[in-house]
Amino acid sequence: MPAGAVRPMSVSVQTSKLTLALGLAGALLGAPVTARDVPKRVVSMNLCTDQLAMLIGGQGQIVSVSQLAADPRSSAMVEQAKGYLTNHGRAEEIYLMQPDLVLAGTYTARATVRMLERLGINVVTFEITNSLDAIPEQMIQMGHVLGQEAKAAGLVAQFEATLAEYRADIANRPKAALYHANGYTSGDRSLAGEILTVAGFENIAASAGYAGGGVMPLEVLAMAQPEAVIQSAPYGGGSRAEEIMDHPVVAALRENGEAGGLTDHDWMCGTPFVLQAIADMTDLRTRIQEAAE
């Protein structure tokens, strides 16, 4: 992604200069010259902002992360999350932590976010990441709101270098399907879809007419005959929604092709951990291709 690689780099050069003179930075970004303080008590209430904040935030800067950050199913930073207070996204508990900055996702309980804003707390919301290109942007945004531009720029450079190594021309792409609970499939225009593509798979969702994702009937999956069915691990307790992942049709596809890889915490958020997901999927693809030869 040449365009994407150039743009964030130029921003990071700019930001490393800015960190030398924070006052000047404030002026450039339209804030009062002296008022661009670095937030000292940051509370994050969204799984994805949790992880970005823990990666980019400075020592002692982050006070609390959401409870999901400590859930190994969803979070790639369970160990790190143990070092922070846990919040459950409730306005009252967050207000009592006396944060000077709250990080939320755009879909985080709107009422809670509005309540916090009414209480005079500065809330910054982050968009959901739907593409790999958006990850550096979010890291830079996080670096900016936390006053950690240099650290963010370093991570971005690292991320883009590793990602570039994976992006290669793959002539022979095995067909794969992302198939989740309730028969939901992720199309090309999603983070999971891009992970699959970079790892060298052809996502059958696109040719089956689900490029934007959606519920793909089992029949359509069966007719497409993917060589790999990539699923998420079921939660405890059991549900009808997840039963579909054990349907004989899916099991037969698993036998014909390769055992479905698991979409785990590395797939959940637009963080550098997606590189791990890409690595796992690249391994899977190599195994499939070697088995076919």
Partner 1 sequence: MSRLALFLSALVVVLFLAALVIGPANLTITQSLKALVFGDGGPMTLVMREIRLPRAILGLLVGGALGLAGAAMQGYLRNPLADPGLIGVSGSAALGAVLSIQMGLAAALALALPLMALGGALVGVVLVLLLAGPRGSSLTLILAGIAISAFAGALTSLVLNLSPNPYAASEIIFWMMGSLADRSMVHVWIALPLIVIGAVLLSTLSRGLDALTLGEDAAEAMGINLTRLRLSLIFGTAAVVGASTAVAGAIGFVGLVVPHLLRPWVSARPGALLWASALGGAAMILASDILVRVVLPERDLKLGVVTALVGAPLFLHLIYRTRRWGA
Positions that interact with partner 1 (CB under 8 A): 181-183, 214-215, 217-220, 222-225, 234-244, 247-249, 252
Residues 161 and 193: beta-carbon distance below 8 Å: no
Diameter of the chain by CA atoms? Answer: 65
Nearer to partner 1, 146 or 269 (CB): 269
Shortest reach from residue 210's CB to partner 1, in Å: 10
Tell me how far apart the alpha carbons of residues 110 and 125 are, in angstroms, rounded to a whole number.
Answer: 10
Shortest reach from residue 243's CB to partner 1, in Å: 8
Tell me how far apart the alpha carbons of residues 264 and 62 are, in angstroms, rounded to a whole number.
Answer: 25
Tell me how far apart the alpha carbons of residues 111 and 279 are, in angstroms, rounded to a whole number.
Answer: 39
Burial of 291 (0-12, 13-18, 19+ CB in 10 A): exposed
Encoded tokens for 38: 């670095």
Nearer to partner 1, 79 or 243 (CB): 243
Shortest reach from residue 113's CB to partner 1, in Å: 22
Nearer to partner 1, 85 or 223 (CB): 223
Nearer to partner 1, 173 or 247 (CB): 247
Nearer to partner 1, 60 or 248 (CB): 248
Shortest reach from residue 108's CB to partner 1, in Å: 16
Nearer to partner 1, 139 or 221 (CB): 221
Residues 124 and 102: beta-carbon distance below 8 Å: yes
Shortest reach from residue 253's CB to partner 1, in Å: 8
Shortest reach from residue 246's CB to partner 1, in Å: 9
- What is the residue whose two structure tokens read 């707390």? 121
- DSSP of 224-264, one letter per residue? H--SEEEEEPPPTT--HHHHGGGSHHHHHHHHHSBPPPEE-
